[in-house]
Structure 1
Amino acid sequence: MPLQSGICAQYKWRMSKNTIRQIIETRMPKDGMIDTGITGVQLFRATQAVPCAPAVYEPCVIAIVSGGKETVLDGERYVYDNSEYMCCPMSMPVEAGTPTASSENPLYGVYVALDQRLMTELTIEMETTGSRLPTTKGIARGIRLARWDHGFLDALLRLVQLGNNPTDTAVLGDARLRELYYAILKGEAGAFARQAFGPGNAIARSIAHVSSRLDEAVSIDEMAAHAGMSRAVFHRKFKQATTLSPIQFVKSMRLNNAAMKIAGGMTVSEAAMDVGYVSPSQFSREFKRMYGQSPRQWSDAHQLPAGML
């Protein structure tokens, strides 16, 4: 019976998410993040409301099974819970927080780093099969929310369950992670992710190049040359992909990284040097312009909260 089949599917859907939540509850008696034993996969929990604060997202997917999270990119707010997951296929300077988390409404979720090599390998395999793949409407910028589907839920559950057995984790971890990556590339954010990880995406390559060298001087001409584009074309395509101009992107990445380091206990001068600032006065001016506080005021007022992503 179609109705009965639909009810059974919904029941299985709820049970699978509840199982993931129970795994996190069992393994995490306190707020924070823990490794699962699978490279790039972490569980997290938060029971305190934390307003959005500067953060840097490396390529990742964040899946919430209880509560909700908030991410802001260039003024656009993304609020998501257990009905949608967040896909960020390129390094991005954002603000992130858990404004609704509480002991009565705890946040439980899974963080999955997206490995460039494996995602590109899968993208190429999928696009050379000749089968029809889902496309995206409009321009997806920076990050995207995608509705959970059965493929994603099943793959995530199978991946998280491995943490209960070290041998299973060691033997099956890579295969289960590949299965989840495939589900992401097939899902609602699939076209967006495939575009970012496709071998022809020069903007993604440029972002990866800059993000790994934030402590070095970088020019727009150098970024454009690395992408194999003229300065004008690179600027236009970069802003289409990220919502930010190349200069805004580099500055936001540096200052967000510095803000996180300071909130984590690093001195202001160390944080400034770590992200490529030679002049302390320039760092202080740009930091205050970005966040409305001097670095020292920021240091006094902020601590890096447990489980912040």
Structure 2
Amino acid sequence: MSKNEIKQLIARRTEKDGLTDTGIAGVRTFRATQAIPCVPAVYDPCVVAIVSGAKEAVLDGHRYVYDDSQYLCCPMSMPVKAGTPNASSENPLYGVFVSLDPHAMSQLALEMENAGGVLPTAVGELRAQGIRLSKWDDGFTEALLRLLHLGASHTDTAVLGEARLRELYYAILKGEAGKSARQAFGAGNAIARSIAHVSSHLDEPISIDDMATRAGMSRAVFHRRFKQVTTMAPIQFVKSMRLNNAAMKIASGMTVNEAAIDVGYVSPSQFSREFKRMYGQSPRQWSEGNQLPVGVA
């Protein structure tokens, strides 16, 4: 019943396709009534929960399809392809996008550890920590419903928003994705820190040696550990982050040259070659044929 209440709340408050602010920082609802193919995107730390329909995300060839039985948890910035291939006016997709605040998640994970809370072990925890699908358990469902109920009152949202969001974070850390999320936000996760640095410095030169040094690892150890966590080699990850960001910027109206420079490319010809190799189209063809779908997150 709670999931149906969440769906009804979203439907009542959503007048058009795309993302809708709830008034709670980092929490947005979304609707899609038309099919959107999987297109390049970058997921910053977030949870995406679907209450009607299904979504897809693809990370390095691994396809994740999720609906109201599982939510997606992405505790680190990841270059993905995402879409809603099956959405239609007859079968609309409704969902919630929740940004995960690194400081709040880290603090809460530490408090849980100090309190003796044992988090569930994730199957295959050394592989693809960048994305996890987690079962919609009662704790997550009730916490999300309580959070979304605040949208009916500005006063309630202002007074209780932070506490209700913390309650949802707690449910996430206790769920099936909890262990990988704690690892990502833990003080000792050098890979997550390296990814956060890359994500915020794409317009600067990035070398694997520098990434390894920042992580306090040898190049060989860093390469192996990075691939365990993300399924990608570091150089492939950096390239995917740059090109996905560029594709989104171009689809949003930025010129090809501006987008290339914005994500760290100094050679337009190199950017064009790598873009076409990644997406099968030149940047200009992409610019003419693609418009960033609202609500693709």
* TM-score, normalising length: structure 2: 0.98
Decide which moves more: 125-134 or 247-256.
Answer: 125-134
> Are 2:250 and 1:259 aligned?
no
Hey, what does 2:222 align to over in structure 1?
234
Deviations along 1:30-58, one digit per CA (max 9) or x if unpaired, are: 10101111111001000000110100000
Alignment of 1:258-277 (within 5 A): 258-277=246-265
What is the CA distance between 1:137 and its match in structure 2?
2.4
Deviations along 1:270-293, one digit per CA (max 9) or x if unpaired, are: 111110111111100110010010
CA distance in 1, matches of 2:274, 2:43: 21
Equivalent of residue 194 in structure 2, options 206, 222, 232: 206
> Are 2:34 and 1:42 aligned?
no
Deviations along 1:86-130, one digit per CA (max 9) or x if unpaired, are: 000000000000000000110100000001001111111111122
Alignment of 1:1-309 (within 5 A): 15-138=1-124, 139-141=126-128, 142-309=130-297
CA distance in 1, matches of 2:158, 2:116: 33
Counterpart of 2:259 in 1: which secondary structure?
helix
Question: Conserved in 2, the CA contact under 8 Å of 1:140 and 1:192?
Answer: no
What is the CA distance between 1:19 and its match in structure 2?
1.1
CA distance in 1, matches of 2:178, 2:136: 12
Counterpart of 1:126 in 2: which secondary structure?
helix
Question: Conserved in 1, the CA contact under 8 Å of 2:127 and 2:231?
Answer: no
CA distance in 1, matches of 2:149, 2:262: 38
Residue correspondences, number: 295
CA distance in 2, matches of 1:39, 1:247: 33
Q: Which has the larger Rg?
A: 1
CA distance in 1, matches of 2:141, 2:272: 45
Deviations along 1:205-252, one digit per CA (max 9) or x if unpaired, are: 000011000000010011001111111100000000000111000000
RMSD: 0.8
Counterpart of 1:100 in 2: which secondary structure?
coil
What is the CA distance between 1:191 and its match in structure 2?
0.8
Counterpart of 2:214 in 1: which secondary structure?
helix
What is the CA distance between 1:198 and its match in structure 2?
1.0
Decide which moves more: 127-136 or 75-84.
Answer: 127-136
CA distance in 1, matches of 2:170, 2:239: 33
Question: Conserved in 2, the CA contact under 8 Å of 1:53 and 1:96?
Answer: yes
Give the 4+ runs in structure 1 shifted more than 4 A: none
CA distance in 2, matches of 1:140, 1:113: 23
Question: Conserved in 1, the CA contact under 8 Å of 2:119 and 2:173?
Answer: no
Question: Conserved in 2, the CA contact under 8 Å of 1:65 and 1:81?
Answer: yes
What is the CA distance between 1:133 and its match in structure 2?
2.6
Identity of aligned residues (%): 75
CA distance in 2, matches of 1:192, 1:32: 29
Decide which moves more: 126-135 or 153-162.
Answer: 126-135
CA distance in 2, matches of 1:70, 1:101: 11
Hey, what does 1:12 align to over in structure 2?
none
CA distance in 1, matches of 2:273, 2:171: 44
What is the CA distance between 1:131 and its match in structure 2?
3.7
- Letter of the 1:40 partner, please give it: G
Gaps spanning 5+ residues in structure 1: where? 1-14
CA distance in 2, matches of 1:132, 1:274: 43
What is the CA distance between 1:164 and its match in structure 2?
0.8
What is the CA distance between 1:22 and its match in structure 2?
1.0
* TM-score, normalising length: structure 1: 0.94
| Pair 101,165 (structure 1): closer, same or farther in 2 beyond 3 Å | same
What is the CA distance between 1:132 and its match in structure 2?
2.9
Question: Conserved in 1, the CA contact under 8 Å of 2:42 and 2:245?
Answer: yes
CA distance in 2, matches of 1:132, 1:23: 33
